[in-house]
Amino acid sequence: MRYSATHVLCAIGLGLLPAGTVLAQAAPDPYSQPVTCNANTFVDPAALSPLMPCDAPTSQKMNPALPATMTPGLIQESFDTFSWQSFVALNWPADGTAIGKGKDPGGDAPAVWQGWMDAFALMTANPPAWGSAPPLPAACKGLPAGTLLSMVGKTPDLLTASTQPFDSGPLIDQNGRYTRFQILVNKPMYDFIVGNRLTTKEGQAAYKPTVTPPNSTVPTMTFPGSFQTGPVTSGTPVATAPGYDGAVMLKLAYKVMGPTDDPARFHTLKALVYTAGATPEQDSCVAETVGLVGLHVGNKVQRFPQWVWSTFEHARNAPEQAQVDAGTAKGPYNYYNAACTAKDCPPNQPPPRPWNPAVQPFPGGYKTQVTRVIALADAYKAINAKWQAPLAGTVWANYELIGTQWPTQPDNQASPTGYSFPLFLANTTMETYTQGTVPQSSSTCIGCHNNAVDTAGRPSDFTYILSLAAKKIFPAAHAP
């Protein structure tokens, strides 16, 4: 696998992860769950498993199956393997059958994460019990059951209602439809938030942090982190180890399936696409089938206080800009029209105002023209092919890892971000208009989430979810 010189220098300078080193683990957080971890790394072909990894092994002592000397490329590959293991486990059928063997087109089936808690429903004075559905707005009553989708932007309070504009703009697919978004949390994260009464401003104000993470000098809010307790046990086809499951949060992007979209190429679900109006009477709700086009995974791993960030996309979202420049971009794409010139369809530009998701398709036939600014490295193309191979013929072979961002110096108190690598990482469905390599402007997961605070203005451990307690948005505003 090939990585850039910057990558090599960054990994060589890594103070945390010299080969053969294992850091002592703290006692498990009471909100973490004991589990059997997926400890399989560098297996060829890739081994599919419903088990989540609890750590990113970076030395032979952590996992005897690893090479005796971990080169910079293998360190990054370990994180990328962690990402793919997480992707497969998260998308494993909720009923426990094998991935890709479901009854829907492409072997699709409802995934594990579809039973997780919606962040909007969670951050209320009376959060729903785990496993229960969020409350429905009046406009959605009487429609067939489906997943409630109310976000029209990646950031929770951006264009949630049609009266709330935001800086980056919505994303319009090639059918002229607004892309929809969702934020979910797993059980350990739900338990931590509810158990510490963090769903309201009052609860957050009363909360007193008791944990001082290694990258801080004072007690700071610290979500439970996953970790392996070992030892690793060889198995067929997956090596396993005992461990603990920490907090995981997902951001998901969906396109409304159009007449030319093949359901055998998307993970699909039935949705209630809700659009808030200025008043409850102006709300709208439509039952639609939507397809997954983007997936961010924020995984709190105990050795990495800044979390490990993985981002996946549908492989046919958009071409790389280099392909466009070379004239080799061949459609169809979900967010790019290969027949439209750059003059008529300038890439990566927000749609013209006004933005009103209640009016679809977008007026004037407008569609967002998206290109990938930073091309996938050869290493990502190789690891994607490795993991897509055992998923061939299923919907999941149509998704690819765009990158894994992690802190190279996680315990460095002078750098809250832990000198993350890679420095920039963008998903074309979620950071469409902030791709690139411009400091303080281009997308970076850890750098962005380092700014997250609770409603009292205190650091909230790299998640913006707690800020929802202060916002009057659905379901609080228009719930019956």
The DSSP call for residue 446 is H
**What pLDDT is attached to residue 157?**
47
Structure tokens at 83: 């990402």
The pLDDT-based confidence of 165 (bands split at 50, 70, 90) is very low
Half-sphere exposure of 133 (CA within 13 A, CB side): 10
Instruction: Give mean pLDDT, residues 267-279.
Output: 92
pTM score, two decimals?
Answer: 0.93
Range in 8-12, 51-55, 194-198, 327-331 the model is least confident about: 8-12
Residue 65 has pLDDT above 80, yes or no: no
The pLDDT-based confidence of 440 (bands split at 50, 70, 90) is confident
Residue 472 has pLDDT above 60, yes or no: no
Residue 42 has pLDDT above 90, yes or no: no
Residue 22 has pLDDT above 60, yes or no: no
Amino acid at 236: T
How far apart, in Å, are the Cα atoms of 47 and each of 44, 160, 239, 295? 8, 39, 9, 21
Range in 103-107, 133-137, 178-182, 426-430 the model is least confident about: 133-137
The DSSP call for residue 79 is H
Angle (deg, nearest 10), helices 5-12 and 72-90: 100
Other beta carbons within 10 Å of 376: 15
Residue ranges of the domains in the chain? 96-233+245-470
Contact 251, 154 (CB under 8 A): yes
Residue 454 has pLDDT above 90, yes or no: yes
The pLDDT-based confidence of 155 (bands split at 50, 70, 90) is low
The pLDDT-based confidence of 168 (bands split at 50, 70, 90) is low
Distance CA 308, CA 420 (A): 10
**What pLDDT is attached to residue 154?**
57
Contact 303, 78 (CB under 8 A): no
What is the DSSP code string of 156-196?
A: TTSSSBTT---SS---B-TTSPBPEEEEEE-HHHHHHHHHT
The pLDDT-based confidence of 13 (bands split at 50, 70, 90) is very low
Structure tokens at 379: 């290493």
pLDDT tens for 299-328 read: 999 999 999 999 999 999 999 999 999 999
The pLDDT-based confidence of 336 (bands split at 50, 70, 90) is very high
**What pLDDT is attached to residue 234?**
83
SS3 letters for 262-326?
CHHHCCEEEEEEEEECCCHHHCEEEEEEEEEEEEEEEEEECCEEEEEEEEEEECCCCCEHHHHHH
